[in-house]
Amino acid sequence: MNQEVILNASGISKQYRLGSVGTGTVSHDLNRWWARIRGKEDPYLKIGEVNDRSTKGESDYVWALQDINFDVYKGEVLGIIGKNGAGKSTLLKILSRVTAPTTGSIKTRGRIASLLEVGTGFNGEMTGRENIFLNGAILGMTKKEIQSKIAEIIEFSGCQRYIDTPVKRYSSGMTVRLAFAVAAFLEPEILVIDEVLAVGDAEFQKKAIGKMQDISKGEGRTVVFVSHNMAAVKSLCTRGIVMEHGGIVFEGGIEECVNNYQISNLDQTEYYVANSVKEIYIKGAKLKASSNNFYSDESIAFVIEVAKNIKFSRHKFLLVRVMDHLDQVLFSSETELDSNKDLYNFIIPSHTLVKGNYKMNFIIYHPAVAQYDNVIEFCSFVILENIKAFSHLETFDIGKIYIEGKWE
């Protein structure tokens, strides 16, 4: 690998005040201004708590990132992994100059193209074609350079029929297709991609991963990639960073990073929210057994507590997904919520899972209307050995099974 450093992050920290924009009060703003005038340290850098969204804090200030240091080398694909709230997206926004760090600095060599959210950098009133030229101009490209790439961009996106239609009429999947094509084909030295690719369908995700591999291996450009899909991370990335509570807890080869991340999740058998302003939310979820180790001939029971801040009658559902160690959904089951019921028991029948590591995903939603809560990567458990019926199997044939869980 070429060890030329193309991006350096040094001492990056990011502080937010909860519930407010800026510091929230004139007195805090004046205190910061006066400290800056005197050449003193910002007084509010000395306070604040670690960003742990599952606990209720005592301070109004929270550190989304704390003392992040790493280098990215030319031509490599760096994977950044971690649970929701670990600080991954905040870090990418700082790398992309969307927001500024509270402390620290970012040094880069070359242009950065970012795909952080659906429609990043797009103007909804402009057509797809016009947005291609707009994004190219933002990257510092000439009109002639953009025109030489536009046919490839349109073909890759699969949006030929709608390319002269305003982007505000695109679906989220179409928008992501075009945004990725623009970011990939306009030849930035560094391509930064958040979980947004998950919005696309399976066929497009495969195309996008193939294109990112071509960018890094064939063209020698650099990719910084964030995803909860461990299969995609392992197939694409050459090196990884594991983040937790706003800090880096592990850095190394991608295999070691994924293993470290998965092992750190094995003790998360319970999830609890002390307070929530959501209309309906998962208050608690845990294994009913005293251990999270099972054999394939054992049934596995969970209890899920649902809390409600609104009254409702029908059409609210609790969906449970069972995921493997690569974050691929093996099967799912759902039950309709009862407004008079708080506790729901879910059972994975015996002889359902083979040897391996698993985790749960709990979702509360109204079909085609709203998603109220989404709790991922909790209630992890292990199947130790295959017993009897599964003794000849190694893995599931992903995507070709559906097993109905039991609800009580």
**What string of DSSP letters covers 379-407?**
EEEEE----GGGTT--S--TTS-----EE
Q: pLDDT class for 50, splitting at 50, 70, 90?
A: low
What gap in Å lies between CA 315 and CA 377, rounded to an integer? Answer: 25
Percentage of the chain surpassing pLDDT 90?
A: 8
For each of the domains in the chain, give its residue range(s) and CATH number, in order of start. Answer: 5-10+69-264 (3.40.50.300), 270-407 (2.60.40.10)
Asked if 260 contacts 283 with a C-beta cutoff of 8 angstroms, the reply is no
Model pLDDT for residues 306-326, shown as the tens digit of each residue:
888 888 777 889 999 898 877
Residue 212 has pLDDT above 90, yes or no: no
What gap in Å lies between CA 360 and CA 331, rounded to an integer? Answer: 10
Supply φ then ψ for residue 332, to 5 degrees.
-140, 160
CA dist 204 to 115, 173, 289, Å? 15, 9, 40
Adjacent-strand bridge partners of 14? 65
pLDDT of residue 271: 54
What gap in Å lies between CA 130 and CA 136, rounded to an integer? Answer: 10
Residue 49 has pLDDT above 60, yes or no: no
For residues 213 and 348, which has the higher predicted lDDT (pLDDT)? 348
Q: pLDDT class for 241, splitting at 50, 70, 90?
A: very high
Residue 210 has pLDDT above 50, yes or no: yes
- pTM over 0.85? The answer is no
Residue 106 has pLDDT above 70, yes or no: yes
Residue 88 has pLDDT above 50, yes or no: yes
Asked if 217 contacts 235 with a C-beta cutoff of 8 angstroms, the reply is no
Percentage of the chain surpassing pLDDT 70?
A: 79
Which residue, among 46, 51, 81, 73, has the nearest Cα to 250 in the 3D structure? 81
Model pLDDT for residues 67-84, shown as the tens digit of each residue:
899 999 888 889 998 877
Q: Which of 28-32, 254-258, 353-357 has the lowest mean pLDDT?
A: 28-32
Q: pLDDT class for 390, splitting at 50, 70, 90?
A: very low
